[in-house]
């Protein structure tokens, strides 16, 4: 029996030894085992402030590092982290409501993950600010006034009035009334509502919404058809309306409007540039209301341009080496160049031999050109020509030849024969 007892005692002693070694090993192994949540502590309390108060304090009692966080936007914290015990200031605006408290949650968290929460609550503001009615409706052309009444137990101010809203007062003390007038709305669209904010000295506020409707559009233009010359000139039309309007043109040859927008009645002048094309053209002037729901069109038809007109050549003087020729030119548009082209083949053009008489419209429309260096006995063909923005035109062709020089008592003269040809543009 004693042997059995000895064996059991030895087993127990061995077990105790193993457990002791394990305990010592764990104790030596990790200081981190000492950093358990049970060794940290944090505590704080809810914050409650009066409705007009703008300051509060969060007191943190802790033996560790910590952080604060919140999603609230109506107050701010003087610090969002700290070590050990300390105070954090809470800065807020006065509660704008005299009816309801407002509150938000703040989360306190330790470095090791301990989490606790507190509530920041601001009581309702004992200041009284109320407004009746809360909305005012105006017609587009309403010229009278409406008013709202402020019921208050403090001084107050009114802000937020746009340029089209006028107020009889922007501040007061206690209960009082404010007259509201609006300017005429010349648009078809309702105006963006104006929100007036009435704020008491203690921070309480109330709002009044001012609305104004758009008007039914009336828009006309006359005349609705305009006939224009091919040459640059000015024209006009009259717009009549009770809304804002604007003008646009379909083509850039309709230009230089004296007004491209306006309200009510107006006479508008514009220009049509030269039509150098040989075809008439049509453009549209559109008069549109501000939101483009109303549209009135004016059709502008411009006549076709015309080529210059060149008369047939006349022979002024002719000998075996020289010919003096004359012609006449008229043009709708300014002449860019005119003169005579000639050669020994029919239908001469400006790409061959030519004599330029001028590069602008002749004052009396007549011109004379001398052809020098002619070959004795040769036959020549000559045409007057003129160039304008509308194109190049040629006159009738003249055929001539210097056959001989006249002798004393001889009636022989150089011969020339006019011949008509079609114009080439």
- Over residues 64-118, the pLDDT tens digits come to 888 999 998 889 998 888 888 889 999 988 887 777 889 999 999 987 778 889 9
Q: Identify the pLDDT of residue 300.
A: 98
Name the stretches of the chain with pLDDT < 50: 1-5, 8, 10-38, 404-413, 415, 418-425
Return mean pLDDT, the chain.
85
Q: Is the pTM of this model over 0.85?
A: no
What pLDDT is recorded for position 112? 77
Q: Round to whole Å and give the CA distance between 29 and 33.
A: 8
Residues near 158 by beta carbon (within 8 Å), at least 6 away in sequence: 167, 169, 170, 171, 178, 196, 197, 198
The pLDDT value recorded for residue 319 is: 86
Tell me the per-residue pLDDT of 138-168, one tens digit each, with 9 for 90 and over. 999 888 899 999 999 999 999 999 999 999 9
Provide the pLDDT for residue 149. 97
pLDDT of residue 403: 59
List, for residues 58-68, the tens digit of each pLDDT value: 998 888 888 99
Domains parsed from the chain with CATH numbers: 39-122 (2.60.40.10), 129-212 (2.60.40.10), 219-302 (2.60.40.10), 309-418 (2.60.40.10)
Distance CA 91, CA 101 (A): 16
Tokens standing for residue 90:
């809470």
Judge contact between 230 and 303, C-beta under 8 A. yes
Q: Say how many residues make up the chain.
A: 425
- Contact yes or no for 327/310 (Cβ under 8 A): yes
Q: What's the CA gap between 286 and 248, in Å, rounded?
A: 5
Residue 8 is predicted with a pLDDT of 47
Distant-in-sequence, close-in-space partners of 134: CB < 8 Å, separation ≥ 6: 206, 207, 208, 209
Buried/exposed 162-173: b ≥16 CB within 10 Å, e otherwise: eebbebeeeebe
């Amino acid at each position: 029996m004693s042997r059995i007892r000895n064996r059991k005692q030895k087993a127990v002693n061995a077990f105790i030894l193993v457990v002791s070694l394990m305990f010592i090993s764990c104790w030596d192994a990790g200081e981190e085992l000492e950093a358990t949540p049970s060794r940290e502590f944090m505590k704080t309390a809810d914050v409650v402030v009066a409705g007009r108060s703008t300051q509060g304090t969060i007191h943190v009692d802790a033996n560790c590092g910590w952080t604060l966080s919140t999603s609230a936007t109506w107050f701010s914290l003087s610090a969002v982290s700290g070590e050990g015990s300390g105070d954090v200031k809470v800065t807020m605006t006065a509660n704008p409501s005299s009816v309801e408290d407002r509150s938000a949650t703040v989360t306190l968290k330790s470095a090791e993950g301990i989490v606790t929460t507190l509530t920041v609550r601001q009581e309702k503001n004992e200041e009284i600010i109320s407004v009746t009615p809360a909305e005012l409706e105006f017609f587009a052309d309403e010229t009278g006034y409406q008013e709202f009444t402020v019921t208050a137990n403090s001084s107050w101010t009114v802000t937020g009035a746009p340029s089209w809203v006028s107020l009889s007062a922007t501040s007061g003390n206690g209960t009082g009334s404010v007259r509201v007038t609006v300017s005429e709305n010349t648009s078809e669209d309702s105006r963006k509502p104006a929100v007036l904010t009435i704020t008491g000295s203690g921070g309480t506020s109330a709002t009044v919404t001012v609305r104004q409707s758009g008007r039914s559009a009336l828009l006309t233009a006359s005349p609705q058809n305009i006939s224009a010359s091919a040459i640059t000139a000015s024209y006009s039309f009259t717009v009549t309306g009770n809304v804002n309007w604007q003008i646009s043109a379909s083509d850039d040859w309709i230009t230089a409007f004296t007004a491209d927008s306006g309200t009510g009645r107006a006479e508008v002048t514009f220009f049509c540039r030269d039509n150098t094309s040989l075809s008439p053209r049509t453009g549209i002037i559109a008069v549109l209301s501000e939101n483009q729901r109303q549209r009135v069109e004016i059709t502008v038809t411009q006549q076709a341009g015309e080529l210059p007109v060149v008369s047939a050549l006349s022979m002024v003087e002719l000998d075996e080496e020289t010919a003096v020729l004359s012609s006449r030119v008229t043009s709708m548009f300014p002449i860019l160049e005119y003169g005579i082209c000639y050669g020994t083949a029919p239908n001469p053009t400006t790409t061959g031999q030519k004599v330029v008489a001028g590069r602008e419209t002749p004052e009396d429309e007549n011109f004379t050109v001398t052809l020098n260096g002619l070959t004795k006995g040769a036959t020549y063909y000559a045409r007057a020509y003129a160039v304008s923005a509308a194109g190049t035109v040629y006159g009738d062709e003249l055929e001539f030849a210097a056959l001989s020089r006249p002798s004393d008592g001889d009636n022989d003269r150089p011969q020339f024969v006019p011949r008509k040809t079609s114009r080439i543009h």
